[in-house]
Amino acid sequence: MRTGLFFEIMEVIKTKREIRQAVHKLKTDGHKTALVPTMGALHEGHVSLIKKAHELADDVIVSIFVNPTQFAPGEDFEKYPRPIEQDIELCRSEKVSVVFAPSREEMYRGTSYISFDVKELGAHLCGRSRPGHFNGVVQIVNKLFNNVPADVAIFGQKDIQQFRILETMAAEFDHVIEIVMSETIRAEDGLALSSRNRYLSPQERQKAPMLYEALLSITQKAASGEAPEAIITEQSQKLESNGHRVDYLQIVDYNTLQPVKSLQSGEKYITAGAIYLGNTRIIDNRIFQT
Ligand code: AMP
């Protein structure tokens, strides 16, 4: 057991007032704090973020909140998994100091008169097929950063557009919290771990790693000079003929998140994709430099 630390037993906090007090206490005691925001249904991907947070701070705070404002009508908000007791146990075994698990009413009180607009950062990739999604993400993470003013926040590369938008939000809104990216954790066959993978039937699960294979192939060919459009079309057709419904496959500029037709040397890019298998949407990406 760590000595001299405020939390030797993990706390589960449900109110904004208490989490602000807890973070304030940790900070005045001289502890560096790290926040790992999640929607729960925790898996090894989330655990890797918690481990990274331990490397960077004395105390790790995990937030668990399925944020309604980032789900469009008809998306899976209602059926999103919420195994809260299991999640709390996992956090305990990963030596998390505080779990912040507010109710919907605690996070959103009364009418909201102000909205966010991620503008062109949300014009492509997931932002295009999920209108309003990233405005909701910015809204909730802005609230989280105000209520959990940790020193550092860890986000996964798995949601690269989210990461880039939140990095931009922190810079534009003068959040002093440091934003850190953590690598994507995968199953042995390459499929990126996701809370939504549990929706896949055995047959769909078997086909799911093909998205990652397509992204690897596109990235490798693009980095060696082939024109993006042709290789994307080729991989898209391959996925479709194997039962995937391609939402998008794109190469975008790392900074602007705008699609590119040709690559410049010395620049950073993202190859990103989203597919549906049945009703389940799977996303993944690769970052590369030319
Ligand atoms: P979520 O609970 O899906 O909102 O994800 C919470 C955080 O975990 C986000 O920063 C995600 O990018 C990250 N995450 C989700 N899946 C993975 C994964 N397979 N590997 C690493 N991080 C992940």
The pLDDT of residue 63 is 98
Whether 273 contacts 248, CB under 8 Å: yes
pLDDT, tens digit, 9 for 90 and up, residues 240-266: 999 999 999 999 999 999 999 999 999
Q: Is 56 in the pocket of ligand 1 (CB under 6 A)?
A: no
Give the distance (Å) from ligand 1 centre to CA of residue 192. 10
Is residue 165 lining ligand 1, measured as CB closer than 6 Å? no
Q: 84 in the Ramachandran plot: left (φ > 0), alpha (ψ -120 to 50) or beta?
A: alpha
Q: Residue 251 burial by CB count (10 A; 0-12/13-18/19+): exposed, middle or buried?
A: buried
* pLDDT tens column, 91-111: 999 999 999 999 999 999 989
Q: What Å distances lie between residue 268 and 121, 149, 194, 216, CA to CA?
A: 16, 31, 25, 16
Check whether 289 has a pLDDT greater than 90.
Answer: yes
Active site residue 43: no
**For the chain, percent of residues with pLDDT exceeding 90:** 97
Taking each helix axis from N to C end, the angle separating 160-172 and 133-147, rounded to the nearest 10 degrees, works out to 50
Q: Which residue's CA lies nearest to atom 14 of ligand 1?
A: 156
pLDDT at residue 202, rounded to an integer:
98
Average pLDDT over residues 65-76: 95
- pLDDT single digits (tens) 79-94: 999 999 999 999 999 9
d(CA 68, CA 100): 17
User: What was the pLDDT predicted at 17?
Assistant: 98
Which residues neighbour 32 within 8 Å (Cβ) at sequence distance 6 or greater? 56, 57, 58, 59, 151, 152
Query: Mean pLDDT throughout 206-210?
Result: 98
Residue 194 gets which letter from DSSP? -
Expressed in angstroms and rounded, the spacing between residue 16 Cα and the centre of ligand 1 is 23
pTM score, whole prediction = 0.96
Supply the DSSP symbol for 288: E
Ligand 1 site, residue 45, Cβ cutoff 6 A: yes
Q: Which two tokens stand for residue 126?
A: 């997931």
CA 102 and chain centroid, separation: 19
Residue given tokens 């996925």 in the structure block: 239
Model confidence at 116: pLDDT above 80:
yes
Query: 18-42, pLDDT tens digit by residue?
Result: 999 999 999 999 999 999 999 999 9
Per-residue tokens: 246: 């391609």
List the catalytic residue out of 24, 43, 46, 133: 46
Ligand 1 center from residue 262 Cα (angstroms): 30
d(CA 85, CA 77): 19
Distance CA 237, CA 134 (A): 28
How many degrees, rounded to 5, is the angle at CA 256 between CA 139 and CA 248?
Answer: 85
Mean pLDDT of the chain: 96
Q: How confident is the model at residue 9 (pLDDT cuts 50, 70, 90)?
A: confident
- Quick: pLDDT tens for 148-161: 999 999 999 999 99
Dist. CA 248–CA 235, nearest whole Å:
11
